[in-house]
């Protein structure tokens, strides 16, 4: 026995815009048509705003994800320069740029630098603007140009000092933007701080034997990473403790 098949035609569900348009066509009241037309415009603007906000939110998510991937790929960078006074190592801007530019450009990032009004007189303030897919973030670094070296000797002319400060600020910005770890950048920038050096000096002063004293002094020199002033302080503390130990042995 043949079975009869009932074919049901399904009409597509109308959109809100189509319903409003149909209402405007069927209404004979001009005020209703005007109100419907305004509703159509408002609905269209709301949809466009929603689409734009969604795209903007996704662009920010993509920006963060891409930046995170760049930071993971960059990792640590080996220093390529050594200071003559402290013998400490650091990576200059050219080395940073050579290493990381292929990584961040491949991820769709661009970065621009510009000098802006400093917050304090006598300083150089640099802005770095990192951009990708319509999203931009600004980073700032402010540094003091100097014509005098660490030991008080003339190091550069005022013009050269500004150029050096500019390059250094750009380097610090690159380190900050991509969260880069480079050798002893903190020591190069600030020198060995007391909270790093003093515990080693205390250990040297409490050394019980020459063997222990030598071991601690070697560890301390390694910890300050060749900073000249710190190494000198360690040597003085060591010599002082040697004399004390010799005096104790003659007692």
Q: Could you give the CA distance from residue 193 to residue 43 in angstroms, rounded to a whole number? A: 62
How much of the chain exceeds pLDDT 90, in percent?
18
What's the distance, Cα to Cα, between the start and end of the chain in Å? 124
Q: What is the pLDDT of residues 141-171, one digit of tens each?
A: 888 776 555 444 455 566 677 777 888 888 8
Whether pLDDT at 108 is above 50: yes
For the residues 36-58, what does the mean pLDDT come to? 76
Confidence of residue 189 (pLDDT cuts 50, 70, 90): very low
Nearest partner of 177 among 88, 110, 222, 95, judged by Cα: 110
Q: What is the pLDDT of residues 21-36, one digit of tens each?
A: 665 565 555 666 666 6
Q: Give me the CATH code for the 77-185 domain, please.
A: 3.30.160
Confidence of residue 121 (pLDDT cuts 50, 70, 90): confident
Ramachandran class of 134: left when φ > 0, alpha when ψ lies in -120 to 50, beta otherwise? left
The packing angle between helices 158-177 and 93-106, to 10°, is 40
Greater confidence (128 vs 39) lies with 128
Write down the domain spans for the chain.
Answer: 16-71, 77-185, 194-245
Q: Could you give the CA distance from residue 110 to residue 171 in angstroms, rounded to a whole number? A: 16
Query: What pLDDT does residue 184 have?
Result: 47
Q: Could you give the CA distance from residue 224 to residue 232 in angstroms, rounded to a whole number? A: 11
Confidence of residue 130 (pLDDT cuts 50, 70, 90): very high
Query: What pLDDT does residue 30 have?
Result: 65
Tokens of 132: 């990708």
Q: Could you give the CA distance from residue 22 to residue 26 in angstroms, rounded to a whole number? A: 6
Query: What pLDDT does residue 227 have?
Result: 67
Whether pLDDT at 86 is above 60: no
Query: What pLDDT does residue 185 have?
Result: 45
């Amino acid at each position: 026995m043949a079975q009869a098949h009932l074919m049901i035609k399904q009409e597509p569900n109308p959109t809100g815009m189509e319903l409003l348009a149909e209402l405007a066509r069927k209404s004979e009241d001009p005020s209703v048509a005007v109100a419907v037309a305004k509703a159509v415009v408002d609905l269209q603007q709301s949809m466009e705003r929603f689409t734009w906000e969604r795209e903007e939110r996704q662009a920010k998510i993509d920006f963060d994800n891409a930046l995170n991937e760049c930071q993971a790929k960059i990792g640590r960078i080996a220093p390529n320069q050594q200071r003559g006074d402290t013998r400490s190592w650091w990576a200059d801007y050219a080395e940073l740029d050579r290493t990381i530019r292929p990584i961040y450009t491949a991820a769709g990032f661009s970065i621009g630098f510009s000098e802006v009004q400093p917050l304090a007189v006598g300083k150089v303030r640099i802005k770095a603007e990192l951009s990708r897919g319509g999203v931009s973030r600004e980073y700032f670094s402010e540094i003091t140009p100097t014509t005098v070296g660490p030991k008080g000797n003339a190091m550069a002319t005022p013009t050269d000092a500004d150029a050096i400060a500019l390059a250094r600020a750009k380097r610090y910005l690159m380190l900050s933007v991509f969260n880069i770890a480079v050798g002893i950048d903190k020591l190069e920038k600030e020198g060995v701080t007391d909270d790093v050096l003093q515990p080693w000096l205390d250990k040297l002063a409490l050394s019980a034997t020459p063997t222990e004293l030598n071991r601690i002094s070697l560890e301390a020199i390694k910890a300050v990473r060749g900073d000249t002033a710190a190494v000198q302080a360690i040597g003085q503390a060591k010599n002082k403790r040697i004399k004390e130990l010799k005096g104790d042995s003659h007692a």
